């Protein structure tokens, strides 16, 4: 038996009407995130409108605006970090106005960021620079919240990076979940901190240590416009990296 389309539509409407609001919202949210690769209802509206591609500079400040607003309220530290980013890039008056507009646009959450970020997959340098700026904004108030971390990890995934690499890029700005926040004498914690395993060759361990040390150098971060809280965190992390490297080096017997 073939059911008329009107009856099928009515039955579907009846089924949706009888799903509790919270459950329906969760279901539709799952569809947005998993099926359509959208991170907000505004992004869905943007896709339906067929919004044009996002310029890379605008994209940077849209991401920063989205992060600043992710916990519900934009703080003065977030605004100062955005200004530091504008200064680092060397924007003129017109460019600054445009960056402010993009930042405010990011706060509204109306852009389909998945499509824009996916296009950057082959631009590794741009991707990593973008993510470092995102981590700086996330840590501008002295701590990286759960929602901020989720966003940065999601964006990094959309740009083709593994979660471990995205976390490594943020190592100087906050202590990622699951990593030691204090100086540790644990060999296992030292391996985790450097992102290596016990069977890695000395050359691999050295490269990992030098890369992380470069990313977390306080002077380098201060020169890029990072907030004092970020620089302090980088100083602490540098000490942890040095301690971890010395422990691994002693255990493996290399210089």
Residue 29 is predicted with a pLDDT of 52
- Chunked in runs of 10, what are the mean pLDDT values of the chain (255 residues)? 48 51 52 49 49 77 93 87 86 92 90 88 88 88 87 94 87 50 61 83 90 82 75 81 88 82
The architecture in CATH of the region 187-252 reads: Orthogonal Bundle (1.10)
Residue 154 is predicted with a pLDDT of 95
Instruction: Indicate yes or no: pTM above 0.75.
Output: no
d(CA 179, CA 174): 10
Token code pair at residue 194: 């450097």
Rounded to 5°, the CA angle 148-169-175 comes to: 60
d(CA 157, CA 121): 9
Residue 53 is predicted with a pLDDT of 66
Residue 106 is predicted with a pLDDT of 92
Q: Is 62 exposed, middle or buried (0-12, 13-18, 19+ CB in 10 A)?
A: buried
From residue 232, alpha-carbon distances to 60, 126, 222 in Å are: 24, 26, 10
Q: How far apart are the first and last CA of the chain?
A: 79
Burial 212-235 (b: 16+ CB within 10 A, else e): bbebbbbeebeebbbbebbbebbb
Domain boundaries 49-164, corresponding CATH code: 1.10.3680
Residue 174 is predicted with a pLDDT of 58
Residue 67 is predicted with a pLDDT of 94
d(CA 35, CA 53): 21
Kindly list the domain boundaries of the chain, sorted by start residue.
Answer: 49-164, 187-252
d(CA 176, CA 250): 25
d(CA 36, CA 104): 24
Contact (Cβ atoms closer than 8 angstroms) between residue 102 and residue 58:
yes
From residue 229, alpha-carbon distances to 12, 189, 244 in Å are: 53, 24, 23
Token code pair at residue 226: 């990072």
């Amino acid at each position: 038996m073939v059911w008329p389309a009107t009856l099928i539509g009515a039955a579907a409407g009846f089924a949706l009407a009888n799903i509790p609001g919270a459950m329906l919202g969760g279901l539709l949210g799952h569809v947005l995130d998993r099926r359509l690769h959208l991170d907000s209802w505004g992004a869905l509206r943007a896709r339906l409108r067929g919004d044009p591609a996002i310029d890379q500079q605008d994209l940077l400040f849209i991401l920063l605006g989205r992060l600043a607003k992710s916990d519900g309220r934009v703080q003065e530290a977030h605004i100062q970090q955005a200004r530091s980013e504008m200064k680092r890039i060397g924007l003129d008056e017109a460019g600054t106005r445009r960056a402010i507009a993009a930042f405010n646009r990011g706060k509204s959450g109306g852009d389909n960021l998945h499509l824009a970020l996916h296009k950057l997959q082959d631009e590794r340098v741009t991707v990593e620079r973008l993510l470092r700026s995102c981590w700086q904004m996330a840590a501008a108030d002295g701590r990286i919240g759960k929602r901020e971390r989720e966003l940065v990890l999601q964006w990094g995934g959309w740009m083709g990076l593994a979660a471990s690499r995205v976390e490594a890029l943020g190592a100087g700005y906050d202590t990622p979940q699951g990593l030691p926040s204090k100086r540790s004498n644990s060999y296992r914690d030292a391996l985790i901190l450097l992102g290596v395993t016990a069977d890695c060759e000395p050359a691999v361990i050295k490269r990992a240590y030098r890369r992380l040390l470069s990313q977390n150098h306080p002077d380098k971060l201060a020169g890029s416009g990072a907030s004092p809280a970020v620089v302090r965190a980088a100083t602490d992390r540098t000490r942890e990296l040095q301690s971890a490297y010395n422990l691994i080096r002693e255990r493996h017997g290399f210089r």
